[in-house]
Amino acid sequence: MNKKIFSIILFVITFNFCLHAQSDFSSPYSLFGLGQENSTYFGGYSALGNTGIASRNPFSINKANPASLSSIASNAFLYEIGLSGTYSNKKTENTSQNNFDFNVSHLAMAFEVKDYWKMSFGLLPYTKVNYEIDITKPVEGSTFYSNTNVIGTGGINEVFWGNGVKISKNLSLGVEASVLFGNITEDQLIYFGTEYASITNSSNYAGFGLNAGVQYTNYKLLGVETTIGATINLPTYLSGTSDEVGTKSFNGSDETTIVNTTDTPIDNFELPLKLGVGITSKLNNNLTASLDYKKTFRTDTYQSNSTYTYKDQEVFGLGVEYLSTKNINNFWNRVKYRAGVNYNTGYLQLSDQNIDNYSFSLGLGLPVSKSNISSMLNINYSYGKEGTINKQLIQDNYHKLSINFSLLGNWFQKQKIF
pLDDT of residue 302: 65
Choose from 16-20, 123-127, 134-138 the range with maximum mean pLDDT: 123-127
CB–CB of 365/46 below 8 Å?
no
pLDDT band at residue 329 using 50, 70 and 90 as cut-offs: confident
Digit-coded pLDDT (tens) for 214-226: 999 998 888 889 9
Side-chain half-sphere exposure of 151, counting CA atoms within 13 A: 8
Closest residue by Cα to residue 354 from 387, 384, 385: 387
Count Cβ atoms within 10 A of the Cβ of residue 71 and give its class: 0-12 exposed, 13-18 middle, 19 or more buried.
buried
pLDDT band at residue 237 using 50, 70 and 90 as cut-offs: very high
Pick the more confident residue, 183 or 2. 183
User: How is residue 414 annotated by DSSP?
Assistant: P
- The fraction of the chain above a pLDDT of 70, given in percent, is 90
Is the pTM higher than 0.85? The answer reads yes
CB–CB of 228/222 below 8 Å?
no
pLDDT band at residue 345 using 50, 70 and 90 as cut-offs: very high
Length of the chain: 418
What is the arithmetic mean of pLDDT over 384-394? Answer: 92
Pick the more confident residue, 243 or 191. 243
DSSP 242-287: EEEEEEEEETTPPPEEEEEEEEEEEEEEEEPPEEEEEEEEE-SSSE
Using the predicted structure, report yes or no on whether residue 17 has a pLDDT greater than 70: no
Pairing relation of β-strands 353-354 and 348-350? antiparallel
Using the predicted structure, report yes or no on whether residue 291 has a pLDDT greater than 90: yes
Using the predicted structure, report yes or no on whether residue 255 has a pLDDT greater than 50: yes
Name the least confident of 54-63, 182-191, 228-237, 253-262.
253-262
Digit-coded pLDDT (tens) for 62-115: 999 999 999 999 888 999 999 999 999 999 888 888 988 888 889 999 999 999
pLDDT band at residue 137 using 50, 70 and 90 as cut-offs: confident
Pick the more confident residue, 5 or 399. 399
CA atoms of 384 and 171, how far apart (whole Å): 36
| Other Cβ atoms closer than 10 A to 175 | 16
Name the least confident of 237-251, 296-310, 338-352, 377-391.
296-310
Using the predicted structure, report yes or no on whether residue 275 has a pLDDT greater than 90: yes
User: How is residue 73 annotated by DSSP?
Assistant: P
Domains of the chain are: 2-409 (2.40.160.60)
What is the arithmetic mean of pLDDT over 336-344? Answer: 97
Average pLDDT, the chain: 88
CA atoms of 314 and 102, how far apart (whole Å): 27
Name the least confident of 136-150, 228-242, 385-399.
136-150
CA atoms of 195 and 386, how far apart (whole Å): 37
Pick the more confident residue, 15 or 113. 113
Strand ranges for 96-170 from DSSP E: 96-114, 117-138, 145-166
